[in-house]
Amino acid sequence: MLKDRFFPLFPLKSIQSHISLAFSLLILAAIVLTSLVSYQVSVAAVERNSKGYIEEIIKQVNLNIQSYVDNMENISLLALTNKDVKYYLSDNSFISEENRRTYEKRISDLFQAILYTRKDIASIMVYGYNGRFVSDRRITSLNPNTRLQDQAWYQMAKAAGGKSVISAPHVQNLIENEYRWVVSLSRELKSTDGITAEGVLLVDLNLSVINDICSNINLGQKGYLFIVDNEGNLVYHPQQQLIESKLRTERIKEVLQVSNGQSFVVNQGDGKRIYSVQDTNFGWRIAGVAYTDDLITSKDDLRNSIIFYSLFGLAISLLISIGLSHRLSKPIKVLQSDMKQVEKGNFDIQTKIGQMNEIGQLGRSFNLMVSRTKFLMEETIRNQENKRKSELLLLQAQINPHFLYNTLDSIVWMAEQKQHEEVVLMTAALAKLFRASITKDQELVPIRVELEHITNYLLIQKMRYNEELRYEIDIDESILGYKTLKILLQPFVENAIYHGIRNMYGIEDGRITIRGRASGDQIVFEVEDNGHGMTPEQQGRLLFSNEEDNRDQGIGIRNVDERIKLYFGYEYGIQIRSEIGEGTCITIVIPKLD
């Protein structure tokens, strides 16, 4: 049902439309495939490029943050090596209470001087295990509710034993009424012997510095950057609160697993994105996340150009396919119209053969076929004509006026001689002869009839030649039922009488023998005489001469041969064997027909 309704939409009647459809589809498929592949390739290229680009950005961020951290480190080294700080914190008592104020002022001045040059540093403080405390501020009131020992940076510094440690971002609540987001670098200070711990130095970096660096990075519209520490805790993330409230997940585990400088691609949740990871040398990992959609800024152009070129290619390919299919189907169409001509009966047509391809060969075969058909038709026409002619000749033979005249003359002569019996016999034989041959509608008669006919004929001839004609008929009884052409033997007997034995020194010495027998699936007749015989030239003339030449010989030998061949085929016919002075034997071969 569907098919019926569907197919008329595509009137795929001609080979041309078939071919063009097939071509178009093939080309369409090829174009689609090519566009897909080219899109994939360009996307892959963009991704590859952007990976490098993100990596560069993250490296820059890394360097920036690194420089801040290095700076903190330098400040800490500066404080560490400062003699005032050392003395101030050392557990010995060579700093008196009066001197203490001076030391505090000098250290505070030093810290302040550093802070002036570095806007990124929030504060610098030193705590001595001896209870002394100095910060970059002259007057510092510590937050009474804060216990130093609970602070992560303090604990970490003690644990690290002299090495500097970087804390996670946190709110620094050491100073009363001051809550700042900072990243702390802390370090335990050793006494001059390098073993005894004397205090902790704290350098706070404003987190806004890192925040600004990270939030100002442009990784496309949706791209962002985040930092995790060694344990996988978030140091910075634009949506840290969402992640902590479990409203959002981040691929921290993967980021920790990837080695430095590597990247990986995630294609889940909200779109395909590239994670590029860099290690800092203080234990953080920076990960840049870029969405591929964002990165392919010329995506629309890419799409439009691919669609445009696809349509363009499609149009061209349609034209080409129509043209090509036309070219291919044109010779077929020509052949088709030539065939139509033949259908109408024009056999003189010969189709033009272009290239010798399959269609050319088809054309050649067609031409051969047409010419062969033409030949066969002409031959059929010719054969029909010949048949008619031989029938006419047969008719003539049946009523050979010469023979009739002679016979009647003999009858008259016999009547004058009062040979009544002979007259009756001869007249009866003549009547039988004619009756036998007059059955016109039947071309084929049983051999029995033919035998009767030739017997009558020989009877008449014998009476004409005053009983001097000697003959013998030897026909196998078993073949009497088979069919033969009528008046087959008469011309040969006639020939034997007129040209064989009549002109002999005495006809009474002449003898005609007629034999008939079966041989395989053939029937062979022989008409033999012992007359003059014939020269090969005469034999040839007998078989191949024009009909006009032997008109007087009645129905010609040649004519009989032709009739046999027309009716039974070319393998049948007559053979002449003759020698001068010895006689002639003519063999007639016809098929065995029931």
Partner 1 sequence: MRKHRYTLWLVLAIIVLAVYAVFNFKFFSGVSHGERRVTVILETLNVQLDFWQAVHKGAEAAAKEMGLNVSVEGPLSEEGADAQIQILEAAIERKPHAIVIAPIKDDRMPAVLAKAREAGIKLVVIHSSPNMQPSPVVVSSNHFEAGRLAGQTSIKETNGHPVLALISDNENSAVSEERLVGMQLALADYKDSLMGIYYADQSEDRAYLIAKQLITSGSPINTFITLNESASLGVARVLKEQNRADDIRLIAFDSTGDEVQLLEAGIIKASIVQKPFNMGYLGVKTALKLIEGDKTNPITYMESNVITKENMYTTENQKLLFPFINSK
Contact positions toward partner 1, by CB under 8 A? 3, 7, 10, 12, 18, 21-22, 25, 28-29, 32, 35-36, 39, 143-146, 168, 170-171, 173, 177-181, 207-208, 211, 221-222, 224, 233-234, 238-242, 244-245, 247, 270-271, 293-294, 299, 303, 307
Query: Are 243 and 234 in contact, with CB atoms under 8 Å apart?
Result: yes
Q: How far is the CB of 366 from partner 1 (least distance, A)?
A: 23
Q: How far is the CB of 244 from partner 1 (least distance, A)?
A: 4
Spatial neighbors of 450 by CB under 8 A, at least 6 apart, are 484, 486, 487, 488, 489
Give the pairing type, strands 165-166 and 180-190. antiparallel
Which residue, 29 or 412, has its beta carbon nearer to partner 1? 29
Strand partners, 444: 485
Helix, coil or strand: residue 23: helix
Q: How far is the CB of 304 from partner 1 (least distance, A)?
A: 9
Strand partners, 158: none
Residue found by looking up tokens 């001087």 in the block: 113
Q: How far is the CB of 118 from partner 1 (least distance, A)?
A: 17
- Classify residue 518 by its DSSP letter: E
Which residue, 138 or 222, has its beta carbon nearer to partner 1? 222
Q: How far is the CB of 296 from partner 1 (least distance, A)?
A: 8
Q: How far is the CB of 390 from partner 1 (least distance, A)?
A: 53
* Euclidean distance between CA atoms 448 and 450, whole angstroms: 5
Provide the residue count of the chain. 594
Cβ-in-10-Å burial (0-12, 13-18, 19+) of 306 comes to middle
Which residue, 205 or 433, has its beta carbon nearer to partner 1? 205
- Provide the token pair at 118: 């570095």
Q: How far is the CB of 28 from partner 1 (least distance, A)?
A: 6
Helix, coil or strand: residue 278: strand
Give the pairing type, strands 444-446 and 483-485. antiparallel
Which residue, 253 or 352, has its beta carbon nearer to partner 1? 253
Which residue, 73 or 178, has its beta carbon nearer to partner 1? 178
Which residue, 223 or 533, has its beta carbon nearer to partner 1? 223
Query: Are 108 and 95 in contact, with CB atoms under 8 Å apart?
Result: no
Which residue, 208 or 419, has its beta carbon nearer to partner 1? 208
Q: How far is the CB of 66 from partner 1 (least distance, A)?
A: 20
Closest listed residue to residue 198, CA positions, set 105, 72, 107, 87: 87
SS3 of the chain: helix, strand, coil, percent, to 5: 55, 20, 25
Query: Are 58 and 288 in contact, with CB atoms under 8 Å apart?
Result: yes
Which residue, 13 or 402, has its beta carbon nearer to partner 1? 13
Q: How far is the CB of 277 from partner 1 (least distance, A)?
A: 21
Which residue, 35 or 64, has its beta carbon nearer to partner 1? 35
Helix, coil or strand: residue 15: helix
Closest listed residue to residue 132, CA positions, set 184, 178, 84: 84
Q: How far is the CB of 329 from partner 1 (least distance, A)?
A: 16
Which residue, 234 or 444, has its beta carbon nearer to partner 1? 234
Q: How far is the CB of 221 from partner 1 (least distance, A)?
A: 6
Q: How far is the CB of 207 from partner 1 (least distance, A)?
A: 5
* Euclidean distance between CA atoms 79 and 89, whole angstroms: 12
What sign does the dihedral 552-555-560-566 (CA atoms) show? positive
* Euclidean distance between CA atoms 237 and 240, whole angstroms: 5
Residue 226 phi, psi dihedral angles, 5° rounding: -145, 165
Which residue, 2 or 195, has its beta carbon nearer to partner 1? 2
Which residue, 322 or 404, has its beta carbon nearer to partner 1? 322
Which strand (E) or helix (H) includes residue 583? strand 583-591
Which residue, 272 or 389, has its beta carbon nearer to partner 1? 272
Cα 204 from chain centre: 73
Residue 193 phi, psi dihedral angles, 5° rounding: -75, -10
* Euclidean distance between CA atoms 3 and 548, whole angstroms: 74
Residue found by looking up tokens 């390098």 in the block: 194
Query: Are 353 and 44 in contact, with CB atoms under 8 Å apart?
Result: no
Q: How far is the CB of 8 from partner 1 (least distance, A)?
A: 13
